[in-house]
Structure 1
Amino acid sequence: MTEHKRKFEWIDKWVKMTGERARIDAKAHKTAIVYRTDQGWVREHHDGTIERMNSKENRGGKVREKERIDRIMSLLQIIWEKQTDVRFNQLISNLQVMYSSQNGGYGQRKMKEKGLQGDEVESTYLDFFFLEDERWEEFLQRLVDNEEA
């Protein structure tokens, strides 16, 4: 048993580091992280306050329908088949840029990174983590209907 514990001890450290990184990101972007405890789901805000969540709040009050997966994947397939030279992740990236530009810059995040000379350079990226599937599906359907893709 001791050998088994030593073999996978790194996982506990990795999980702890991942959680700490999430807290740092939440503070930087003034958002929150959500995780499960023995008492249920909690939301930890960037200021350190923690609130309990019940399962309905955690799911936005409803369970997402399974059928949406097939609909969204079908729409993506239609769009991708019109652009067969594009790699899948390019397709998704291009679609996110289109969605963002059509929706007031949705998902745009600013960050600073080190430039080639070691100086700080402002940069942006897109974060679609909180975009509901319903909105994404509507966007994809409009593209298919208007043949924009």
Structure 2
Amino acid sequence: MTENKRKFEWVDKWAKMTGERARIDAKVHKTAIVYNTEAGWVKEHYDGTIEIINTKENRGENMREKERINRIMSLLQRIWEQQPDVRFNQLISNLQHMYSSQNEGYGQRMMKEKGSLGDEAESSYLDLFYLEDDKWEEFLQKLVDNRATDD
């Protein structure tokens, strides 16, 4: 037993380092990490606040409401109809940039790119993978409401 413990001791260290790295990344990118504790699943936000996650939701017992899909798609349609010359992915990209700039750079990721001569240049991209639908819907609704008052 002692031999196996020594043999795989590096796994515990590696797991701890991975968790610490995830926590650092969450702070840098203003996201959160999710992990299991003795009390159940928790979501640790980049600002250090910890939220206990309902385990029923994690098992899919409390799914997101389906109605949100029609609401969000309807908002996107209304916005897109006001600028029909814009391609769909161009519209989404523009909206993501607007959301990020209005929310302290949410989702902005920095990276280094290698050029053809081996030189490195810093670049950035947006990753809104973890943005909850209710926040996106609220943003889109404000855009629609603001454009309605402009007309």
Contact 2:111 2:122 in 1 (8 A): yes
Matched residue count = 107
Give the residue type in structure 2 aligned to 1:67: E
Alignment match, 2:97: 97
- Determine the C-alpha separation between the residues in 1 that align with 2:112 and 2:92: 24
Give the residue type in structure 1 aligned to 2:143: L
- Determine the C-alpha separation between the residues in 2 that align with 1:91 and 1:133: 17
Give the residue type in structure 1 aligned to 2:25: K
Residue 97 of structure 1 deviates from its aligned partner by 0.2
TM-score by length of 2: 0.60
Which entry has the higher C-alpha Rg, 1 or 2?
2
Give the gaps of 5 or more residues in structure 2. 1-17, 27-31, 35-40, 42-52
Residue 30 of structure 1 deviates from its aligned partner by 3.5
Which digits, 9 at most, give the CA deviation of each residue in 1:87-135, with x for residues without a partner?
Answer: 0000000000000000000000001111242211111000000000000
- Determine the C-alpha separation between the residues in 2 that align with 1:95 and 1:85: 15
Alignment match, 1:30: 25
Instruction: Find out whether 1:77 has 2:48 as its counterpart.
Output: no
- Determine the C-alpha separation between the residues in 2 that align with 1:65 and 1:137: 13
- The CA RMSD measured in Å over matched residues stands at 3.2
- Determine the C-alpha separation between the residues in 2 that align with 1:66 and 1:132: 14
Greater RCO, 1 or 2 (C-alpha within 8 Å, sep 6+): 2
TM-score by length of 1: 0.61
